[in-house]
Structure 1
Protein backbone atom coordinates (compact mmCIF):
# COMPACT_ATOMS: atom_id res chain seq x y z
CA UNK A 1 0.00 0.00 0.00
CA UNK A 2 1.23 3.48 -0.89
CA UNK A 3 -0.15 4.86 2.39
CA UNK A 4 2.79 3.41 4.31
CA UNK A 5 5.20 5.40 2.13
CA UNK A 6 3.34 8.62 2.97
CA UNK A 7 3.73 7.78 6.67
CA UNK A 8 7.41 7.20 5.98
CA UNK A 9 7.73 10.53 4.14
CA UNK A 10 6.07 12.33 7.07
CA UNK A 11 8.92 11.01 9.28
CA UNK A 12 6.77 10.27 12.30
CA UNK A 13 9.75 9.92 14.62
CA UNK A 14 10.34 13.70 14.25
CA UNK A 15 6.74 14.80 14.90
CA UNK A 16 7.03 14.92 18.73
CA UNK A 17 9.37 17.89 18.23
CA UNK A 18 6.61 19.93 16.61
CA UNK A 19 4.17 19.48 19.51
CA UNK A 20 6.57 19.43 22.49
CA UNK A 21 6.84 23.20 22.84
CA UNK A 22 3.13 23.95 22.54
CA UNK A 23 2.29 21.13 24.98
CA UNK A 24 4.82 22.44 27.50
CA UNK A 25 3.41 25.97 27.36
CA UNK A 26 -0.13 24.53 27.65
CA UNK A 27 0.75 22.70 30.89
CA UNK A 28 2.33 25.83 32.36
CA UNK A 29 -0.53 28.06 31.17
CA UNK A 30 -3.10 25.72 32.69
CA UNK A 31 -1.36 25.96 36.07
CA UNK A 32 -1.48 29.77 35.97
CA UNK A 33 -4.87 30.58 34.47
CA UNK A 34 -7.94 29.14 32.75
CA UNK A 35 -6.95 27.88 29.30
CA UNK A 36 -9.24 27.05 26.39
CA UNK A 37 -8.54 23.41 25.49
CA UNK A 38 -9.78 23.95 21.91
CA UNK A 39 -6.97 26.48 21.41
CA UNK A 40 -4.45 23.82 22.43
CA UNK A 41 -6.00 21.25 20.06
CA UNK A 42 -5.81 23.71 17.15
CA UNK A 43 -2.21 24.57 18.10
CA UNK A 44 -1.42 20.85 18.15
CA UNK A 45 -3.00 20.19 14.74
CA UNK A 46 -1.40 23.26 13.12
CA UNK A 47 2.06 22.33 14.43
CA UNK A 48 1.72 18.76 13.15
CA UNK A 49 0.56 19.90 9.71
CA UNK A 50 3.45 22.36 9.43
CA UNK A 51 5.98 19.70 10.45
CA UNK A 52 4.62 17.21 7.90
CA UNK A 53 4.66 19.98 5.27
CA UNK A 54 8.32 20.67 6.09
CA UNK A 55 9.21 16.96 5.88
CA UNK A 56 7.44 16.54 2.54
CA UNK A 57 9.12 19.68 1.20
CA UNK A 58 12.51 18.43 2.41
CA UNK A 59 11.96 15.10 0.62
CA UNK A 60 11.01 16.95 -2.57
CA UNK A 61 13.68 19.67 -2.47
CA UNK A 62 16.64 17.47 -1.55
CA UNK A 63 15.71 15.02 -4.30
CA UNK A 64 15.70 17.80 -6.89
CA UNK A 65 19.09 19.18 -5.81
CA UNK A 66 20.65 15.71 -5.59
CA UNK A 67 21.39 15.87 -1.86
CA UNK A 68 19.21 12.79 -1.46
CA UNK A 69 21.14 10.05 -3.23
CA UNK A 70 22.26 6.51 -2.51
CA UNK A 71 25.45 7.75 -0.83
CA UNK A 72 23.35 9.41 1.88
CA UNK A 73 23.80 7.78 5.30
CA UNK A 74 20.46 8.84 6.76
CA UNK A 75 17.10 7.13 6.16
CA UNK A 76 16.26 6.81 2.48
CA UNK A 77 13.71 9.27 1.13
CA UNK A 78 10.54 8.25 -0.67
CA UNK A 79 11.17 10.16 -3.90
CA UNK A 80 14.79 9.02 -3.97
CA UNK A 81 13.67 5.39 -3.72
CA UNK A 82 10.86 5.81 -6.26
CA UNK A 83 8.03 5.13 -3.78
CA UNK A 84 6.41 8.52 -4.44
CA UNK A 85 6.72 10.58 -7.63
CA UNK A 86 7.72 14.25 -7.83
CA UNK A 87 4.21 15.16 -9.01
CA UNK A 88 2.52 13.28 -6.16
CA UNK A 89 4.77 14.94 -3.59
CA UNK A 90 4.18 18.36 -5.14
CA UNK A 91 0.41 17.86 -4.81
CA UNK A 92 0.89 16.78 -1.17
CA UNK A 93 2.89 19.95 -0.48
CA UNK A 94 0.08 22.08 -1.91
CA UNK A 95 -2.50 20.15 0.12
CA UNK A 96 -0.66 20.47 3.43
CA UNK A 97 0.04 24.16 2.76
CA UNK A 98 -3.72 24.73 2.44
CA UNK A 99 -4.52 22.57 5.48
CA UNK A 100 -1.88 24.37 7.56
CA UNK A 101 -3.30 27.75 6.54
CA UNK A 102 -6.89 26.75 7.37
CA UNK A 103 -5.90 25.24 10.71
CA UNK A 104 -3.76 28.27 11.57
CA UNK A 105 -6.57 30.64 10.63
CA UNK A 106 -9.06 28.75 12.81
CA UNK A 107 -6.51 28.90 15.64
CA UNK A 108 -6.12 32.67 15.61
CA UNK A 109 -9.89 33.17 15.22
CA UNK A 110 -10.36 30.94 18.27
CA UNK A 111 -7.61 32.43 20.42
CA UNK A 112 -7.61 36.12 19.50
CA UNK A 113 -10.50 38.53 19.37
CA UNK A 114 -10.97 40.22 16.01
CA UNK A 115 -11.20 43.49 17.96
CA UNK A 116 -7.49 43.19 18.68
CA UNK A 117 -6.66 43.72 15.03
CA UNK A 118 -2.90 44.28 15.48
CA UNK A 119 -2.28 40.97 17.33
CA UNK A 120 -4.65 39.16 14.96
CA UNK A 121 -2.78 40.49 11.92
CA UNK A 122 0.59 39.67 13.55
CA UNK A 123 -0.36 36.02 14.03
CA UNK A 124 -1.89 35.88 10.55
CA UNK A 125 1.43 36.99 9.08
CA UNK A 126 3.14 34.48 11.39
CA UNK A 127 1.13 31.60 9.93
CA UNK A 128 2.02 32.65 6.38
CA UNK A 129 5.72 32.90 7.33
CA UNK A 130 5.61 29.45 8.96
CA UNK A 131 4.14 27.88 5.81
CA UNK A 132 6.60 29.69 3.54
CA UNK A 133 9.56 28.73 5.75
CA UNK A 134 8.47 25.07 5.91
CA UNK A 135 8.68 24.93 2.11
CA UNK A 136 11.63 27.25 1.51
CA UNK A 137 14.01 25.24 3.76
CA UNK A 138 14.96 23.03 0.82
CA UNK A 139 12.83 24.14 -2.17
CA UNK A 140 13.33 26.94 -4.65
CA UNK A 141 16.23 29.15 -5.61
CA UNK A 142 18.89 29.30 -2.88
CA UNK A 143 16.94 27.45 -0.10
CA UNK A 144 17.94 28.73 3.33
CA UNK A 145 18.63 25.20 4.64
CA UNK A 146 21.66 25.17 2.31
CA UNK A 147 23.14 28.37 3.79
CA UNK A 148 25.49 28.11 6.79
CA UNK A 149 23.62 28.53 10.08
CA UNK A 150 20.26 29.54 8.58
CA UNK A 151 18.66 26.14 9.18
CA UNK A 152 19.79 26.25 12.83
CA UNK A 153 18.47 29.80 13.23
CA UNK A 154 15.03 29.02 11.82
CA UNK A 155 14.69 25.81 13.87
CA UNK A 156 15.64 27.82 16.97
CA UNK A 157 12.98 30.44 16.21
CA UNK A 158 10.12 28.18 15.10
CA UNK A 159 10.62 25.20 17.45
CA UNK A 160 11.66 27.37 20.37
CA UNK A 161 10.42 30.96 20.52
CA UNK A 162 7.34 30.58 18.29
CA UNK A 163 6.40 27.18 19.70
CA UNK A 164 6.72 27.96 23.42
CA UNK A 165 6.38 31.75 23.83
CA UNK A 166 4.07 32.16 20.83
CA UNK A 167 1.61 29.48 21.97
CA UNK A 168 1.82 30.71 25.59
CA UNK A 169 0.51 34.09 24.45
CA UNK A 170 -2.34 32.41 22.57
CA UNK A 171 -3.30 30.53 25.75
CA UNK A 172 -2.92 33.39 28.26
CA UNK A 173 -2.76 36.65 26.23
CA UNK A 174 0.29 37.56 28.33
CA UNK A 175 4.06 37.37 27.94
CA UNK A 176 6.51 36.29 30.66
CA UNK A 177 10.29 36.51 30.72
CA UNK A 178 10.61 33.07 32.33
CA UNK A 179 8.69 31.57 29.40
CA UNK A 180 11.02 33.34 27.00
CA UNK A 181 14.01 31.71 28.74
CA UNK A 182 12.27 28.34 28.51
CA UNK A 183 11.56 28.88 24.81
CA UNK A 184 15.29 29.48 24.23
CA UNK A 185 16.09 26.25 26.08
CA UNK A 186 13.65 24.17 24.00
CA UNK A 187 14.80 25.88 20.80
CA UNK A 188 18.45 24.99 21.44
CA UNK A 189 17.59 21.33 22.05
CA UNK A 190 15.80 21.25 18.70
CA UNK A 191 18.84 22.82 17.04
CA UNK A 192 20.87 19.96 18.55
CA UNK A 193 18.61 17.47 16.73
CA UNK A 194 19.24 19.27 13.43
CA UNK A 195 22.96 19.34 14.19
CA UNK A 196 23.06 15.54 14.61
CA UNK A 197 21.28 15.19 11.27
CA UNK A 198 23.80 17.54 9.66
CA UNK A 199 26.85 15.83 11.24
CA UNK A 200 25.61 12.50 9.91
CA UNK A 201 25.16 13.83 6.35
CA UNK A 202 28.02 16.36 6.23
CA UNK A 203 30.16 14.55 3.64
CA UNK A 204 27.31 14.12 1.18
CA UNK A 205 26.01 17.65 1.89
CA UNK A 206 29.43 19.14 1.16
CA UNK A 207 29.64 17.35 -2.20
CA UNK A 208 26.19 18.70 -3.12
CA UNK A 209 26.83 22.29 -1.95
CA UNK A 210 24.60 22.14 1.11
CA UNK A 211 26.66 24.18 3.57
CA UNK A 212 25.49 23.36 7.08
CA UNK A 213 27.25 24.19 10.36
CA UNK A 214 29.11 20.82 10.46
CA UNK A 215 30.25 21.28 6.83
CA UNK A 216 31.57 24.71 7.78
CA UNK A 217 33.15 23.74 11.12
CA UNK A 218 34.23 20.16 10.52
CA UNK A 219 33.20 17.21 12.67
CA UNK A 220 35.42 18.08 15.67
CA UNK A 221 34.05 21.58 16.15
CA UNK A 222 30.53 20.54 15.14
CA UNK A 223 30.59 18.20 18.17
CA UNK A 224 31.83 21.07 20.34
CA UNK A 225 29.00 23.25 18.99
CA UNK A 226 26.59 20.44 19.89
CA UNK A 227 27.90 20.26 23.47
CA UNK A 228 27.73 24.04 23.93
CA UNK A 229 24.12 24.43 22.78
CA UNK A 230 22.97 21.54 24.99
CA UNK A 231 24.74 22.95 28.06
CA UNK A 232 23.27 26.42 27.44
CA UNK A 233 19.85 24.78 27.10
CA UNK A 234 20.33 22.97 30.42
CA UNK A 235 21.43 26.22 32.11
CA UNK A 236 18.35 28.09 30.86
CA UNK A 237 16.13 25.20 31.94
CA UNK A 238 17.72 25.22 35.41
CA UNK A 239 16.99 28.96 35.75
CA UNK A 240 13.35 28.38 34.78
CA UNK A 241 12.93 25.50 37.25
CA UNK A 242 14.61 27.55 40.00
CA UNK A 243 12.25 30.47 39.40
CA UNK A 244 9.16 28.23 39.33
CA UNK A 245 10.03 25.36 41.66
CA UNK A 246 6.85 23.81 43.06
CA UNK A 247 7.82 20.39 44.40
CA UNK A 248 10.96 18.32 44.97
CA UNK A 249 9.65 15.82 42.39
CA UNK A 250 9.88 18.47 39.69
CA UNK A 251 13.57 18.95 40.50
CA UNK A 252 14.22 15.19 40.58
CA UNK A 253 12.61 14.71 37.17
CA UNK A 254 14.62 17.58 35.73
CA UNK A 255 17.89 16.18 37.13
CA UNK A 256 17.11 12.80 35.52
CA UNK A 257 16.72 14.51 32.13
CA UNK A 258 20.06 16.29 32.64
CA UNK A 259 21.68 12.89 33.28
CA UNK A 260 20.18 11.54 30.03
CA UNK A 261 21.54 14.57 28.17
CA UNK A 262 25.01 14.08 29.66
CA UNK A 263 25.03 10.44 28.52
CA UNK A 264 23.88 11.64 25.09
CA UNK A 265 26.79 14.12 24.91
CA UNK A 266 29.23 11.38 25.89
CA UNK A 267 27.92 9.19 23.05
CA UNK A 268 28.21 12.04 20.55
CA UNK A 269 31.83 12.74 21.53
CA UNK A 270 32.94 9.16 20.89
CA UNK A 271 31.00 8.47 17.69
CA UNK A 272 33.45 7.75 14.88
CA UNK A 273 31.08 6.24 12.32
CA UNK A 274 28.53 8.68 10.94
CA UNK A 275 25.75 6.10 10.60
CA UNK A 276 25.76 5.83 14.44
CA UNK A 277 24.33 9.37 14.58
CA UNK A 278 20.96 7.92 13.49
CA UNK A 279 20.30 6.20 16.83
CA UNK A 280 21.41 9.27 18.82
CA UNK A 281 19.07 11.48 16.81
CA UNK A 282 16.08 9.32 17.72
CA UNK A 283 17.19 9.20 21.37
CA UNK A 284 17.48 12.99 21.54
CA UNK A 285 13.94 13.41 20.17
CA UNK A 286 12.70 11.19 23.01
CA UNK A 287 14.82 13.06 25.58
CA UNK A 288 13.35 16.40 24.44
CA UNK A 289 9.84 15.01 24.84
CA UNK A 290 10.73 13.78 28.34
CA UNK A 291 12.33 17.16 29.07
CA UNK A 292 9.05 18.87 28.21
CA UNK A 293 7.06 16.42 30.36
CA UNK A 294 9.46 16.76 33.32
CA UNK A 295 8.84 20.52 33.43
CA UNK A 296 5.22 20.64 32.29
CA UNK A 297 3.80 17.83 34.41
CA UNK A 298 5.57 19.30 37.43
CA UNK A 299 3.30 22.34 37.08
CA UNK A 300 0.16 20.21 37.05
Structure 2
Protein backbone atom coordinates (compact mmCIF):
# COMPACT_ATOMS: atom_id res chain seq x y z
CA UNK A 1 0.00 0.00 0.00
CA UNK A 2 1.63 3.22 -1.22
CA UNK A 3 -0.36 5.68 0.89
CA UNK A 4 2.17 5.42 3.71
CA UNK A 5 4.96 6.17 1.23
CA UNK A 6 3.18 9.31 0.04
CA UNK A 7 2.68 10.40 3.64
CA UNK A 8 6.39 9.81 4.22
CA UNK A 9 7.26 11.81 1.07
CA UNK A 10 5.11 14.71 2.32
CA UNK A 11 7.42 14.92 5.38
CA UNK A 12 4.68 15.36 7.94
CA UNK A 13 7.13 16.54 10.61
CA UNK A 14 7.88 19.71 8.60
CA UNK A 15 4.27 20.70 7.87
CA UNK A 16 3.70 22.72 11.09
CA UNK A 17 6.08 25.29 9.59
CA UNK A 18 3.63 26.01 6.78
CA UNK A 19 0.77 27.06 9.05
CA UNK A 20 2.63 28.43 12.10
CA UNK A 21 2.86 32.00 10.83
CA UNK A 22 -0.64 31.87 9.37
CA UNK A 23 -2.04 30.70 12.69
CA UNK A 24 -0.19 33.36 14.67
CA UNK A 25 -1.45 36.20 12.49
CA UNK A 26 -4.98 34.76 12.70
CA UNK A 27 -4.92 34.64 16.52
CA UNK A 28 -3.71 38.24 16.74
CA UNK A 29 -6.05 39.57 14.04
CA UNK A 30 -9.00 37.73 15.61
CA UNK A 31 -8.29 39.56 18.86
CA UNK A 32 -8.04 42.92 17.11
CA UNK A 33 -11.01 42.74 14.75
CA UNK A 34 -13.70 40.52 13.26
CA UNK A 35 -11.98 37.89 11.10
CA UNK A 36 -13.39 35.20 8.83
CA UNK A 37 -12.55 31.68 10.00
CA UNK A 38 -13.12 30.48 6.42
CA UNK A 39 -10.25 32.68 5.26
CA UNK A 40 -7.98 31.12 7.87
CA UNK A 41 -8.91 27.56 6.83
CA UNK A 42 -8.30 28.37 3.15
CA UNK A 43 -4.93 29.93 4.06
CA UNK A 44 -3.92 26.78 5.97
CA UNK A 45 -5.03 24.42 3.19
CA UNK A 46 -3.19 26.44 0.54
CA UNK A 47 -0.02 26.63 2.63
CA UNK A 48 -0.08 22.88 3.35
CA UNK A 49 -0.58 22.05 -0.33
CA UNK A 50 2.29 24.33 -1.32
CA UNK A 51 4.66 22.81 1.22
CA UNK A 52 3.76 19.26 0.20
CA UNK A 53 4.35 20.36 -3.41
CA UNK A 54 7.76 21.70 -2.39
CA UNK A 55 8.61 18.47 -0.55
CA UNK A 56 7.59 16.31 -3.52
CA UNK A 57 9.57 18.53 -5.89
CA UNK A 58 12.56 18.33 -3.58
CA UNK A 59 12.35 14.54 -3.54
CA UNK A 60 12.20 14.48 -7.34
CA UNK A 61 14.85 17.15 -7.94
CA UNK A 62 17.43 15.79 -5.50
CA UNK A 63 16.99 12.34 -7.00
CA UNK A 64 17.65 13.32 -10.62
CA UNK A 65 20.62 15.52 -9.68
CA UNK A 66 22.17 12.84 -7.50
CA UNK A 67 22.14 14.93 -4.33
CA UNK A 68 19.93 12.29 -2.73
CA UNK A 69 22.21 9.23 -2.52
CA UNK A 70 23.52 6.63 -0.08
CA UNK A 71 25.98 9.15 1.40
CA UNK A 72 23.19 11.49 2.48
CA UNK A 73 22.77 11.61 6.27
CA UNK A 74 19.18 12.83 6.35
CA UNK A 75 16.10 10.59 6.10
CA UNK A 76 16.06 8.67 2.83
CA UNK A 77 13.68 10.02 0.25
CA UNK A 78 11.07 7.92 -1.48
CA UNK A 79 12.46 7.95 -5.03
CA UNK A 80 16.01 7.15 -3.96
CA UNK A 81 14.65 4.37 -1.77
CA UNK A 82 12.59 2.92 -4.64
CA UNK A 83 9.30 3.46 -2.82
CA UNK A 84 7.87 5.84 -5.44
CA UNK A 85 8.91 6.04 -9.09
CA UNK A 86 10.01 9.20 -10.91
CA UNK A 87 6.91 9.12 -13.13
CA UNK A 88 4.59 8.74 -10.13
CA UNK A 89 6.24 11.65 -8.34
CA UNK A 90 6.07 13.78 -11.48
CA UNK A 91 2.31 13.18 -11.68
CA UNK A 92 1.99 14.08 -7.98
CA UNK A 93 3.83 17.34 -8.61
CA UNK A 94 1.38 18.23 -11.39
CA UNK A 95 -1.57 17.26 -9.17
CA UNK A 96 -0.45 19.34 -6.19
CA UNK A 97 0.37 22.27 -8.47
CA UNK A 98 -3.26 22.23 -9.62
CA UNK A 99 -4.61 21.73 -6.10
CA UNK A 100 -2.45 24.61 -4.81
CA UNK A 101 -3.71 26.85 -7.59
CA UNK A 102 -7.39 26.07 -7.03
CA UNK A 103 -7.07 26.42 -3.26
CA UNK A 104 -5.16 29.70 -3.60
CA UNK A 105 -7.62 31.03 -6.17
CA UNK A 106 -10.57 30.15 -3.93
CA UNK A 107 -8.82 31.95 -1.08
CA UNK A 108 -8.24 35.23 -2.94
CA UNK A 109 -11.60 35.02 -4.74
CA UNK A 110 -13.48 34.55 -1.48
CA UNK A 111 -11.46 37.19 0.36
CA UNK A 112 -10.48 39.92 -2.08
CA UNK A 113 -12.45 39.94 -5.33
CA UNK A 114 -15.25 42.21 -4.09
CA UNK A 115 -12.98 44.24 -1.82
CA UNK A 116 -10.15 45.48 -4.05
CA UNK A 117 -9.61 44.26 -7.61
CA UNK A 118 -6.01 45.52 -7.73
CA UNK A 119 -5.01 43.65 -4.56
CA UNK A 120 -6.92 40.61 -5.84
CA UNK A 121 -4.77 40.69 -8.98
CA UNK A 122 -1.56 40.97 -6.93
CA UNK A 123 -2.47 37.97 -4.80
CA UNK A 124 -3.60 36.07 -7.91
CA UNK A 125 -0.16 36.57 -9.45
CA UNK A 126 1.31 35.65 -6.08
CA UNK A 127 -0.31 32.21 -6.34
CA UNK A 128 1.72 31.44 -9.46
CA UNK A 129 4.88 32.79 -7.83
CA UNK A 130 4.35 30.53 -4.81
CA UNK A 131 3.76 27.46 -6.98
CA UNK A 132 6.76 28.25 -9.17
CA UNK A 133 8.97 28.81 -6.13
CA UNK A 134 7.81 25.57 -4.48
CA UNK A 135 8.88 23.62 -7.56
CA UNK A 136 12.04 25.50 -8.55
CA UNK A 137 13.78 25.07 -5.19
CA UNK A 138 15.14 21.73 -6.40
CA UNK A 139 13.91 21.37 -9.99
CA UNK A 140 14.98 22.87 -13.30
CA UNK A 141 18.30 23.66 -14.92
CA UNK A 142 19.21 26.15 -12.18
CA UNK A 143 17.31 25.32 -8.97
CA UNK A 144 17.67 28.27 -6.60
CA UNK A 145 18.07 25.96 -3.59
CA UNK A 146 21.48 25.01 -5.02
CA UNK A 147 22.73 28.63 -4.98
CA UNK A 148 24.33 30.16 -1.88
CA UNK A 149 21.78 31.96 0.29
CA UNK A 150 18.84 31.75 -2.11
CA UNK A 151 17.11 28.93 -0.25
CA UNK A 152 17.45 30.86 3.01
CA UNK A 153 16.12 34.03 1.40
CA UNK A 154 13.06 32.37 -0.11
CA UNK A 155 12.25 30.51 3.11
CA UNK A 156 12.56 33.81 5.01
CA UNK A 157 10.18 35.53 2.58
CA UNK A 158 7.55 32.80 2.15
CA UNK A 159 7.52 31.29 5.65
CA UNK A 160 8.00 34.62 7.37
CA UNK A 161 6.88 37.79 5.62
CA UNK A 162 4.21 36.30 3.34
CA UNK A 163 3.00 33.76 5.92
CA UNK A 164 2.53 36.32 8.70
CA UNK A 165 2.12 39.76 7.12
CA UNK A 166 0.53 38.44 3.92
CA UNK A 167 -2.11 36.41 5.75
CA UNK A 168 -2.69 39.24 8.25
CA UNK A 169 -3.68 41.49 5.36
CA UNK A 170 -6.13 38.85 4.10
CA UNK A 171 -7.70 38.74 7.57
CA UNK A 172 -7.85 42.47 8.28
CA UNK A 173 -7.19 44.32 4.96
CA UNK A 174 -4.52 46.32 6.75
CA UNK A 175 -0.74 46.21 7.07
CA UNK A 176 0.81 46.68 10.52
CA UNK A 177 4.43 47.46 11.34
CA UNK A 178 4.39 45.31 14.46
CA UNK A 179 3.22 42.34 12.40
CA UNK A 180 6.12 42.93 10.04
CA UNK A 181 8.50 42.56 13.00
CA UNK A 182 6.75 39.36 13.95
CA UNK A 183 7.01 38.03 10.40
CA UNK A 184 10.78 38.64 10.45
CA UNK A 185 11.07 36.71 13.71
CA UNK A 186 9.11 33.70 12.42
CA UNK A 187 10.96 33.82 9.10
CA UNK A 188 14.34 33.57 10.83
CA UNK A 189 13.26 30.52 12.85
CA UNK A 190 12.25 28.82 9.60
CA UNK A 191 15.63 29.70 8.09
CA UNK A 192 17.14 28.03 11.15
CA UNK A 193 15.32 24.79 10.29
CA UNK A 194 16.70 24.92 6.74
CA UNK A 195 20.18 25.67 8.04
CA UNK A 196 20.16 22.55 10.24
CA UNK A 197 19.12 20.52 7.22
CA UNK A 198 21.99 22.00 5.21
CA UNK A 199 24.58 21.58 7.98
CA UNK A 200 23.61 17.92 8.27
CA UNK A 201 24.22 17.23 4.57
CA UNK A 202 27.07 19.69 4.07
CA UNK A 203 29.65 17.18 2.77
CA UNK A 204 27.35 15.44 0.32
CA UNK A 205 25.93 18.76 -0.94
CA UNK A 206 29.47 20.02 -1.62
CA UNK A 207 30.33 16.91 -3.64
CA UNK A 208 27.18 17.26 -5.74
CA UNK A 209 27.47 20.99 -6.37
CA UNK A 210 24.65 22.11 -4.08
CA UNK A 211 26.11 25.32 -2.64
CA UNK A 212 24.19 26.14 0.51
CA UNK A 213 25.32 28.60 3.17
CA UNK A 214 26.92 25.83 5.31
CA UNK A 215 28.83 24.62 2.21
CA UNK A 216 30.02 28.19 1.68
CA UNK A 217 30.84 28.95 5.33
CA UNK A 218 31.94 25.56 6.62
CA UNK A 219 30.45 23.86 9.67
CA UNK A 220 32.06 26.15 12.26
CA UNK A 221 30.74 29.39 10.80
CA UNK A 222 27.44 27.76 9.79
CA UNK A 223 26.87 27.12 13.50
CA UNK A 224 27.64 30.78 14.25
CA UNK A 225 25.20 31.77 11.52
CA UNK A 226 22.60 29.53 13.16
CA UNK A 227 23.17 31.13 16.57
CA UNK A 228 22.89 34.58 15.02
CA UNK A 229 19.55 34.00 13.25
CA UNK A 230 17.97 32.36 16.31
CA UNK A 231 19.09 35.15 18.66
CA UNK A 232 17.95 37.87 16.25
CA UNK A 233 14.59 36.10 15.95
CA UNK A 234 14.25 36.08 19.75
CA UNK A 235 15.18 39.77 19.97
CA UNK A 236 12.62 40.78 17.32
CA UNK A 237 9.93 38.61 18.94
CA UNK A 238 10.68 40.26 22.28
CA UNK A 239 10.36 43.67 20.64
CA UNK A 240 6.90 42.72 19.33
CA UNK A 241 5.83 41.81 22.86
CA UNK A 242 7.30 45.08 24.15
CA UNK A 243 5.20 47.01 21.63
CA UNK A 244 2.05 45.08 22.59
CA UNK A 245 2.61 44.26 26.24
CA UNK A 246 -0.57 43.96 28.29
CA UNK A 247 0.25 41.47 31.03
CA UNK A 248 3.08 39.46 32.61
CA UNK A 249 1.90 36.23 30.94
CA UNK A 250 3.17 37.44 27.58
CA UNK A 251 6.72 37.53 28.93
CA UNK A 252 6.42 34.32 30.95
CA UNK A 253 5.27 32.24 27.98
CA UNK A 254 7.85 33.86 25.74
CA UNK A 255 10.76 33.38 28.16
CA UNK A 256 9.85 29.70 28.62
CA UNK A 257 10.21 29.05 24.88
CA UNK A 258 13.33 31.22 24.69
CA UNK A 259 14.98 29.01 27.31
CA UNK A 260 14.21 25.98 25.14
CA UNK A 261 15.67 27.77 22.11
CA UNK A 262 18.85 28.58 24.05
CA UNK A 263 19.17 24.90 25.00
CA UNK A 264 18.74 24.08 21.31
CA UNK A 265 21.56 26.48 20.44
CA UNK A 266 23.78 24.82 23.05
CA UNK A 267 23.13 21.42 21.46
CA UNK A 268 24.03 22.77 18.02
CA UNK A 269 27.28 24.33 19.27
CA UNK A 270 28.60 21.13 20.81
CA UNK A 271 27.24 18.71 18.23
CA UNK A 272 30.01 16.61 16.67
CA UNK A 273 28.24 13.96 14.59
CA UNK A 274 26.10 15.26 11.73
CA UNK A 275 23.52 12.49 12.09
CA UNK A 276 22.35 14.09 15.35
CA UNK A 277 21.23 17.17 13.42
CA UNK A 278 18.08 15.20 12.46
CA UNK A 279 16.72 15.29 16.00
CA UNK A 280 17.51 19.00 16.40
CA UNK A 281 15.78 19.78 13.11
CA UNK A 282 12.57 18.14 14.33
CA UNK A 283 13.00 19.86 17.69
CA UNK A 284 13.30 23.31 16.10
CA UNK A 285 10.12 22.68 14.06
CA UNK A 286 8.28 21.96 17.32
CA UNK A 287 9.91 24.93 19.07
CA UNK A 288 8.87 27.22 16.23
CA UNK A 289 5.27 26.12 16.69
CA UNK A 290 5.55 26.56 20.48
CA UNK A 291 7.06 30.00 19.88
CA UNK A 292 4.02 30.90 17.79
CA UNK A 293 1.63 29.62 20.46
CA UNK A 294 3.51 31.41 23.25
CA UNK A 295 3.14 34.76 21.51
CA UNK A 296 -0.36 34.20 20.13
CA UNK A 297 -2.10 32.71 23.19
CA UNK A 298 -0.47 35.06 25.71
CA UNK A 299 -1.50 37.98 23.48
CA UNK A 300 -5.20 37.19 23.87
CA UNK A 301 -5.18 36.21 27.57
Q: State the TM-score bracket (shorter-chain normalisation).
A: over 0.9
Aligned to 2:259: 259
Separation of aligned partners in 2, 1:246 and 1:268: 34
Q: 1:7-156, aligned counterparts within 5 Å?
A: 7-114=7-114, 116-156=116-156
1:117 Cα shift? 1.5
Q: 1:181-260, aligned counterparts within 5 Å?
A: 181-260=181-260
Separation of aligned partners in 2, 1:29 and 1:210: 40
Structure 2: 5+ residue stretches without partners? none
1:115 Cα shift? 5.2
1:114 Cα shift? 3.6
Q: Deviations over 1:140-191 (max 9, x none)?
A: 1110000000000000000000000000000000000000000000000000
1:179 aligns with 2:179: yes
Tell me the SS of whatever aligns to 1:82: coil
Tell me the SS of whatever aligns to 2:281: helix
Aligned to 1:277: 277
Structure 1: 5+ residue stretches without partners? none
Q: TM-score, normalised by structure 2?
A: 0.99
Could you tell me whether the CA contact under 8 Å between 1:184 and 1:236 is conserved in 2? yes
Separation of aligned partners in 2, 1:255 and 1:95: 42
Provide the aligned C-alpha RMSD in A. Answer: 0.6
Using the TM superposition, name which of 110-119 and 254-263 deviates more.
110-119
Separation of aligned partners in 2, 1:253 and 1:278: 26
Q: Deviations over 1:86-123 (max 9, x none)?
A: 00000000000000000000000111134512100100
Tell me the SS of whatever aligns to 1:99: helix
1:279 Cα shift? 0.4
Q: TM-score, normalised by structure 1?
A: 0.99
Separation of aligned partners in 1, 2:12 and 2:3: 13
Separation of aligned partners in 2, 1:23 and 1:15: 13
Tell me the SS of whatever aligns to 1:77: coil
Tell me the SS of whatever aligns to 2:121: helix
1:246 Cα shift? 2.1
- Count of residue pairs the alignment pairs up: 300
Separation of aligned partners in 2, 1:187 and 1:116: 27
Tell me the SS of whatever aligns to 2:245: coil
Aligned to 1:162: 162
Could you tell me whether the CA contact under 8 Å between 1:246 and 1:298 is conserved in 2? no
Could you tell me whether the CA contact under 8 Å between 1:249 and 1:298 is conserved in 2? yes
Separation of aligned partners in 2, 1:73 and 1:114: 50
